[in-house]
């Protein structure tokens, strides 16, 4: 996604990220977003980790996606977004097994 290297406000980065994820999910079952792009929307040095995770989950849920957040330590955080199926949301945006 790395096309937005200039300055901008968080909302323009969020809109760009949402468009990118939506386009990817039209072509495949998931979209992986890496630390550099996440940091534009949710700066890790300006946010508490729990707040950052909550905001990423909120963003995903608002668009009908799930967000699996993986912190790989050395390589930073990455998020795997997937389109949610109806009735697949459990506590705090987690996926639950269908009944």
How many Å apart are CA 66 and CA 59, to the nearest integer? 9
What per-residue confidence (pLDDT) applies to 11? 83
The pLDDT tens digits for 69-83 are 998 878 889 999 999
Q: Is the pLDDT at 52 greater than 60, yes or no?
A: yes
Give the domain ranges of the chain: 29-93
pLDDT value for 38: 95
Element holding 32 (H helix, E strand): strand 30-34
CA distance 55 to 74: 22
């Amino acid at each position: 996604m790395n096309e937005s290297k200039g300055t901008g406000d968080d909302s323009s980065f969020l809109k760009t990220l949402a468009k990118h994820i939506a386009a990817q999910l039209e072509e495949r079952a998931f979209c992986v977003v890496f630390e550099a792009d996440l940091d534009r929307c949710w700066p890790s040095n300006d946010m508490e980790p729990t707040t950052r995770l909550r905001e990423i989950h909120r963003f995903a849920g608002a668009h009908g996606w799930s967000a699996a957040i993986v912190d790989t330590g050395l390589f930073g955080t990455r998020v795997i977004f997937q389109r949610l199926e109806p009735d697949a949301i459990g506590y705090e945006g987690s996926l639950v097994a269908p009944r």
